[in-house]
Structure 1
């Protein structure tokens, strides 16, 4: 392998694994919220459902 290939390999490894580590640290600091914004309740409107088309 040439020096340029090794340099690009190292840069790619740092980007991929660094992104993984950064996302793990972010999720540990701010986990998924247990409360969601209003508006997602099911109102049981079976007769006014969206039209389903066969494709």
Structure 2
């Protein structure tokens, strides 16, 4: 493999795994809230 190909591989890996880590950290700080229906019970699975 050429040096350019290795650099592109490293950049792609950092983007993909970095995005995954950022998404997981964001979900830890801001977890999804469940919808509550009129009866006061949680609706499962949560609707979008």
Q: Whose RCO is larger (CA < 8 A, sep 6+)? A: 2
Runs of 4+ in 1 over 3 A off after TM superposition: none
1:33 Cα deviation (Å)? 1.1
The secondary structure found in structure 2 opposite 1:32 is coil
> Taking structure 1 as the reference length, what is the TM-score of the superposition?
0.61
> Taking structure 2 as the reference length, what is the TM-score of the superposition?
0.69
| Aligned residue in 1 for 2:14 | 14
Gaps of 5+ in 2: 37-48
> Superposition RMSD on alpha carbons, in Å?
1.1
Q: Is the radius of gyration larger for structure 1 or structure 2?
A: 1
Gaps of 5+ in 1: 37-55
The secondary structure found in structure 2 opposite 1:26 is helix
